[in-house]
Amino acid sequence: MKFTKITIILCFLLNGQSYGQGTIELENLNIDAKQNGLFLAIHSSGSLSMEKITGWVNGDWFYMTVHEAQGDSAEICSAPYSFPVLEIDNTNTEESTQLAIRVSGQIENFELYLSEDKHTIIAALYYPAETVIALMEKTEKGAPPPYSLNSRIINVLYLTGTALTISGVISGDGSDNNTELVLGLSVLTCTYLYDRFLK
């Protein structure tokens, strides 16, 4: 009788341990915004398989469900994010967990991967081509010119041009070959045109 009671207790303990080990916890969501979309990475407490991970897009929401896993909703929903991410949600059921991310605009396509150690889910969300082009054009318009002189260099050029011009006037003998005067006036003219119209 004692042997039977001990056997039953051990069976319950082993079943409880195996059930606890079968549930994987997801936590530590990282969101990396790129020009062509978003890259998400969420870590798990155990090894995952792609057969248990599904994803889909509905309007401005991206959904990912992981079967036989539970999400740490408090940690996932408080993950740092910025525009174009608008909202993060995590819902657990008895059999799965679902991550939902709302973005500004649309997601045209997505891909799901697992890291080499199978402990991190990576989701790549891609914007439509026209959205990427519009963002690139906006960035190019707001970008500084490819080559610009700072104010200190401009001041040095003004001083150099002025010094060369004065030196040319003082040392000028009335001939047309006054190199310092020509060079000084050229430096002043070019610097002024750049400072006024191209800066």
pLDDT above 70: percentage of residues in the chain: 72
Higher pLDDT, 166 or 173: 166
Domain 21-142: which topology?
A: Immunoglobulin-like (2.60.40)
Long-range contacts of 71-79 (CB under 8 A, 24+ apart): 71/25, 71/26, 71/27, 71/97, 71/98, 71/99, 72/25, 72/26, 72/27, 75/27, 75/28, 75/29, 76/26, 76/27, 76/29, 76/42, 79/28, 79/29, 79/30, 79/31
- The whole-number pLDDT of residue 44 equals 93
**pLDDT grade for 6, boundaries at 50, 70 and 90:** low
**pLDDT grade for 150, boundaries at 50, 70 and 90:** low
pTM of the predicted model as reported, rounded to 2 decimal places: 0.57
- The whole-number pLDDT of residue 36 equals 84
- The whole-number pLDDT of residue 30 equals 94
**pLDDT grade for 18, boundaries at 50, 70 and 90:** very low
pLDDT tens by residue, 65-88:
999 999 999 999 999 988 889 999
- The whole-number pLDDT of residue 40 equals 94
pLDDT tens by residue, 121-142:
999 998 887 665 655 555 555 5
Here the tokens at position 132 are: 């990427």
- The whole-number pLDDT of residue 22 equals 62
pLDDT at residue 146 tops 50 = no
Average pLDDT over residues 32-54: 92
**pLDDT grade for 192, boundaries at 50, 70 and 90:** confident
pLDDT at residue 29 tops 90 = yes
Domain ranges of the chain: 21-142, 151-198
